[in-house]
């Protein structure tokens, strides 16, 4: 948990005005506590949809780099989205996955 918090803090310290989509669970709470800002979208209720939301934002706002912070369990819940991301290959989409073993 400590390393995930440090990773979230490190990523958020590098971000200026980019939208950040954060998966549900502890990553959302940690990001809110460490670096709340209007450009953050905290996925509170559903598992596995942060990459889909991030992809939608990336396609709608090609001038902005969109960062998705995701957990390994969330990724497993939304594997189909990864195929779509891979097919579209948006250059402004960054997907960070935490291995919460």
Instruction: Please check whether residue 67 is in contact with residue 18, taking contact to mean a CB–CB distance below 8 angstroms.
Output: yes
Residue of 65, 72, 69 lying closest to 10 (CA atoms)? 69
Give the model's pLDDT for residue 1: 56
Q: pLDDT digits over 53-100, tens only?
A: 999 999 999 999 999 999 999 999 999 999 999 999 999 999 999 987
Q: Does domain 2-98 have CATH number 3.40.640.10?
A: no
pTM of this structure? 0.93
Taking the C-alpha atoms of residue 12 and residue 88, their distance in angstroms, rounded to an integer, is: 26
7 to 3, 16, 23, 39: CA distances (angstroms) = 6, 16, 14, 18
């Amino acid at each position: 948990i400590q390393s995930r918090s440090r990773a979230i803090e490190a990523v958020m310290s590098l971000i200026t005005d980019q939208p950040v989509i954060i998966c549900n669970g502890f990553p959302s709470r940690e990001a809110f506590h460490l670096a709340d800002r209007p450009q953050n979208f905290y996925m509170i209720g559903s598992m596995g949809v942060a990459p889909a939301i991030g992809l939608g934002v990336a396609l709608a706002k090609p001038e902005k780099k969109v960062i998705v912070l995701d957990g390994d369990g969330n990724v497993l819940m939304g594997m189909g989205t990864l195929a779509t991301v891979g097919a579209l290959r948006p250059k402004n989409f960054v997907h960070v996955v935490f291995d919460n073993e």
